[in-house]
Structure 1
């Protein structure tokens, strides 16, 4: 059994003229949500043994602010990937996860929309879950956790996931 946690980066700032999308930092609300993400992951027992994170500034900041709430070993399990930011294929992150999951039994990806939402919905074995959760309109700072009855990430395929839970940051 493998587990996957999909995290969309927390709320980013849009107020800096001329700043490239890749370089946008988190907004103050996003910084609070990023710390909440770490606390929520720890409270739910969603501790990954491998983390794949986009190299964009807002995803890096999201992960860095979430990490203090998680065991120290998680920090050592982080790898950074340009491909996560650049993902534009119709299958979302599915191929990337299948090829980069390695030997992890609990994998986490910190990424962007629309790829995060496309991946989450595509993985659902029970597609009706998409209409009962915010997966179709995956909010910033949203966390979805899945379980798969597979032994290798290379066997990851559409429709093979069971949604364990979905969480969104509290609004102030």
Structure 2
């Protein structure tokens, strides 16, 4: 079994309109929400063995803040250029390159691609939006990430900071 955590970056700052999108930092709420969501995953017993993130500043920072909670070494976070503002299909390209020794992975990325990909993965659940710091988790009945797309998948959970 393979478990995939799709995690949208936490809330970013729009304080400086001159900041390039790629370089936007997290705002205070984002800096608070990221560790909160990591702790929720830890409480569920779901901790990634591999973290892959878009190289955008807000995404890297979210991954690092969550990695701290999981005691995951920040230098081991893989930055994948293709994940920056990517389409849903790009996630599959990234996933099929993952070593099968990893059973639980987290991919940190952006909307709209992350929401589109979450909806692609299952017919059970349809979501309008993965909010900032939101986590969509799915399990695939396979031992190989190369077979992930064709494997039977089960929805695990969808969680986000302001969920009731």
TM-score, with structure 2 as normaliser: 0.90
| 1:80-99 matched pairs, under 5 angstroms | 80-88=79-87, 90-99=88-97
How far the C-alpha of 1:34 sits from its partner, in A, is 0.9
Change (3 A) 1:93 1:162: same
How far the C-alpha of 1:74 sits from its partner, in A, is 5.4
RMSD of aligned C-alpha atoms?
1.9
Change (3 A) 1:76 1:162: farther
Specify the alignment match of 1:148 in structure 2. 140
Q: Secondary structure at the match of 1:129?
A: coil
Q: Is the 8 Å Cα contact of residues 123 and 158 (structure 1) preserved in structure 2?
A: no
Gaps of 5+ in 2: none
Change (3 A) 1:158 1:37: farther
Gaps of 5+ in 1: none
Instruction: Choose the corresponding residue for 1:120, options 115, 118, 121.
Output: 118
Specify the alignment match of 1:167 in structure 2. 159
How far the C-alpha of 1:155 sits from its partner, in A, is 0.6
CA distance in 1, matches of 2:96, 2:66: 24
TM-score, with structure 1 as normaliser: 0.86
Specify the alignment match of 1:7 in structure 2. 7
CA distance in 2, matches of 1:102, 1:82: 21
How far the C-alpha of 1:147 sits from its partner, in A, is 0.7
Q: Is the 8 Å Cα contact of residues 54 and 83 (structure 2) preserved in structure 1?
A: yes
CA distance in 2, matches of 1:76, 1:21: 23
Q: Is the 8 Å Cα contact of residues 11 and 27 (structure 2) preserved in structure 1?
A: yes
Specify the alignment match of 1:79 in structure 2. 78
